[in-house]
Structure 1
Amino acid sequence: MSGTERGKIEGRSVLYLAPGFMSYRVHKHVRGVQVFDLQLIRQMVELGLVVTLPAERSWKPRLIGAGRGGDGVGALGDLTKPRAGGEGLLKILWTPTLRKPLWNGLWAAGAMGLSRARFDVCYLGNAGEGLAQAAGLMHRLGIFQRLVLLAHRYPKRRLIGLLRRTRGRSLAVSNNVRSMFPDDLDPPCEIRFGEMDHAKFFPASRESAAIANDSGVRGDGLVHFVMLGALDTPLKDVPTALKAFGLIPDEVRAQCRLHLASFAKPPTAAELPAGVTAYPWMPIERVPEFLRSMDAMLVTSLSETFCLALVQGMLTGMPSVVRDIGTLTEKVDGGAGGANGVDGRGGLIFSTPEQLAEHMTTLAKDARLRATMGEAARRTALERYTWRTEEFVREVLFGGKENRE
């Protein structure tokens, strides 16, 4: 962003509404969307925006804590400290411990209405029905007029109504989510999302990976498959991966390992088949290097709205085997939209545990195929699934002639 462009946005105000921060947080890990939110808030502030974040009081130790949280994502307390000649660029509006986005959102609406708070734009992230109702009240109170929505899920009727009233910008994290928005929405919903720390995810060097031999195994004699995410969640469907691993022919499975990363409460080694390792909760700062020690990724989820873990694997140069659901297949097929092809694609697609086992066997036996598909996956991720905050702020948050002048 040029100095002139930056000068046009410095000091402008953003109301940042996200359901994660308006929900009860004690004893829970920061995951997926909240990691993105924490990074985006910091980058907005670094660009000179004044951000107000309503958050439930149960978040206070996590948001204000010194240094980095146990999940490896930096706290935001330093951004609230006064600058020379003024306040901090991040202002946190603490709500009581009301536990739900609806009640915390309504409380925040009342507090901001009484103080006559006004914002240049409201950023609404991953909103469900409750937060959409609170945001609608804020709009009626005049707290904001311009709205930008980033949707990780299918929109409810109340949210569509708010977009129509404000003529707000709506972004979807995937084609699957975008397809659920009305065709006559004005302006139309766009796709924009991806890995924010994409520069940290890159392939292992050829020397360290040692995958160029004809036997199809790495230098340690093993092929490492990985599942990455909040694997305690039943929707991640770890049992299908375990069943498929057991269906791989014995002579091939002896050369394979399956890594399950990670769990809040991981199963013990005694509870897992031979060759399978489960990990306790892994901080995000450890994930890039961990992925560089892997060969291929499995995504067996029954439902996903984006799957940032898959994109991280793609950026690392790994092929993937994914379940046959649109949010996943649109990433590994290079946009071709077909069945289990190979050319130009970054992965294979399965519908049954038996098919998953076949694909794992194919990848385990063919190092060159893994390398070819991994290169294709990385190209796709770099082209379509990286997030650039400066572009988002310039083109979306304050996009349009009336917002730049």
Structure 2
Amino acid sequence: MSPGKTILYLQKSLLKRERQPVLRGVELFDALLIRDLMAAGHRVTLPLVCCWEPLLRERLPTGCRLQIISCFGGSALNGLLAALFAGRHDALIIGNVGNGLVPAIKLLFATRRVGRAALIANREAAPRFVAALRRYAVRILAVNNQIAAPFRTAGYPLVDTDYGIPNAEEFFPAAEAKPADAPVDFCVVGQLDNAWKGADTAIAAFQKLPDAVRARCRLHLASFVNPPTITTPGIQIYPWLPAAAIPTFLRRMDVMLVPSRDEHVMRETFSQVIVQGMLTGLPIIASDRPVLMEKLDTGGGLIFQTLEQLVQGLEKLAGDAALRRRLGAEARRIALERYVWNTDRFIRKYLFPDE
């Protein structure tokens, strides 16, 4: 494949105004993918509303063209504006599903500004979205099989389940083991302002530990845009941590908790955080969400359904360092085998398969 292709990258979250924008998992993945695309010699244009510009400029290579849009509304109107001024590109990457992007995608194809497209589907798509993109033979990469299913049913030419961590090399175990008498550090990581991340469940379980066990443990909740006040001894609340701080933070931990729950819709569709913890060699205690259980199907951690089971898991891992090491080693093996993102493969299979 000849270098120097031009790529338009449409991400719906970057086309909506946020009062307190933070780079979450999907946007961080976008930034890392753009970095890799440009390292491969391609030129990328990223439309975004102005509130996102400072955060993205510090994450993206200097050669990335940011198409700044004054915020006139939601992703539908801003997406149309981006499409109108996009110019001609060799390929379109659609960073997530969203009905608001449909008018922009239709305009881009109708005016031949793009000739091919790939969708990275991080959420369940509405029937309207699935139907609208079918005529353009968009290649689909979904983060799990449930998200992929409607596209397969609709007869899309290529629908795969394939996802991972683009910067996996940054996540590795601590070089030295902690002293035997050091506190056992449990952590919950993510944008914990979102109730479905389950920080309240972790707090409740920690508070229910026997006093003697809780006295030698700590629970780290990282992190919050708007940190709450928690007075329970042993619980530490973190204001928002930048992505660059997460690898070092995880290497100070002993166990990762992923107590996510669904709220009428599938909230946890992949969980980059659990993979980051696995790559760091942390044993995992996760809720019984399908996308979490599949990552621990050969070991690497414990699954809980009830609060009592979570308390038992905390107590079990708090008292058994050898078990923590064994589960953590298996978690890292699984993550390295299954969940390391390969941008070169994405380019060859989804963007420019015929070149």
The aligned residue for residue 297 of structure 1 is 256
The aligned residue for residue 380 of structure 1 is 334
The aligned residue for residue 205 of structure 2 is 244
Residue 130 of structure 1 pairs with residue 100 of structure 2: yes
Return the match for 1:144 from 101, 106, 114: 114
The aligned residue for residue 325 of structure 2 is 371
Aligned identity (percent) is 41
CA distance in 2, matches of 1:363, 1:9: 52
Q: Deviation digits for residues 87-141 of structure 1, max 9, x if unmatched?
A: xxx33322221241111011222334xxxx3222111011211013321222222
Q: Deviation digits for residues 141-175 of structure 1, max 9, x if unmatched?
A: 22212110000001122332243212121001123
Residue 183 of structure 1 pairs with residue 153 of structure 2: yes
The aligned residue for residue 163 of structure 2 is 193
CA distance in 2, matches of 1:347, 1:14: 40
CA distance in 2, matches of 1:294, 1:368: 15
In structure 2, relative to structure 1, the CA distance for the partners of 1:182 and 1:393 (3 Å cut) is closer
CA distance in 2, matches of 1:289, 1:220: 21
In structure 2, relative to structure 1, the CA distance for the partners of 1:103 and 1:158 (3 Å cut) is same
CA distance in 2, matches of 1:137, 1:324: 42
Check conservation: 1:24, 1:98, Cα contact below 8 A. no
Larger deviation, residues 132-141 vs 354-363: 132-141
The aligned residue for residue 350 of structure 1 is 304
Q: Deviation digits for residues 35-94 of structure 1, max 9, x if unmatched?
A: 111121122112111212222233333334xxx4xxxxx244x21xxxxxxxxxx33322
Return the match for 2:237 from 278, 286, 290: 278
Check conservation: 2:165, 2:340, Cα contact below 8 A. yes
TM-score, length basis structure 2: 0.93
The one-letter amino acid paired with 1:163 is L
The aligned residue for residue 68 of structure 2 is 94
What SS is found at the alignment partner of 2:135?
helix
Check conservation: 1:119, 1:143, Cα contact below 8 A. yes
The aligned residue for residue 327 of structure 1 is 291
The aligned residue for residue 264 of structure 2 is none
The aligned residue for residue 41 of structure 1 is 34
Return the match for 1:313 from 261, 277, 281: 277
Check conservation: 1:248, 1:361, Cα contact below 8 A. yes
CA distance in 2, matches of 1:146, 1:366: 53
In structure 2, relative to structure 1, the CA distance for the partners of 1:75 and 1:109 (3 Å cut) is closer
**Which 5+ residue runs of structure 1 have no aligned equivalent?**
1-7, 69-73, 80-89, 211-217, 335-344
> Aligned runs of 1:1-40 on 2, under 5 Å?
8-40=1-33
Highest CA radius of gyration, 1 or 2? 1
Alignment size in residue pairs: 350
Larger deviation, residues 171-180 vs 380-389: 171-180
Deviation at 1:259, TM superposition (A): 0.5
**Which 5+ residue runs of structure 2 have no aligned equivalent?**
262-266
The aligned residue for residue 204 of structure 1 is 174
Larger deviation, residues 21-30 vs 300-309: 21-30
CA distance in 2, matches of 1:274, 1:290: 20
CA distance in 2, matches of 1:272, 1:182: 50
Residue 170 of structure 1 pairs with residue 140 of structure 2: yes
The aligned residue for residue 109 of structure 1 is 83
Deviation at 1:184, TM superposition (A): 4.8
The one-letter amino acid paired with 1:253 is R
In structure 2, relative to structure 1, the CA distance for the partners of 1:376 and 1:360 (3 Å cut) is same
CA distance in 2, matches of 1:60, 1:294: 33
CA distance in 1, matches of 2:231, 2:25: 26
After the TM superposition, which parts of structure 1 deviate over 6 Å for at least 4 consecutive aligned residues? none
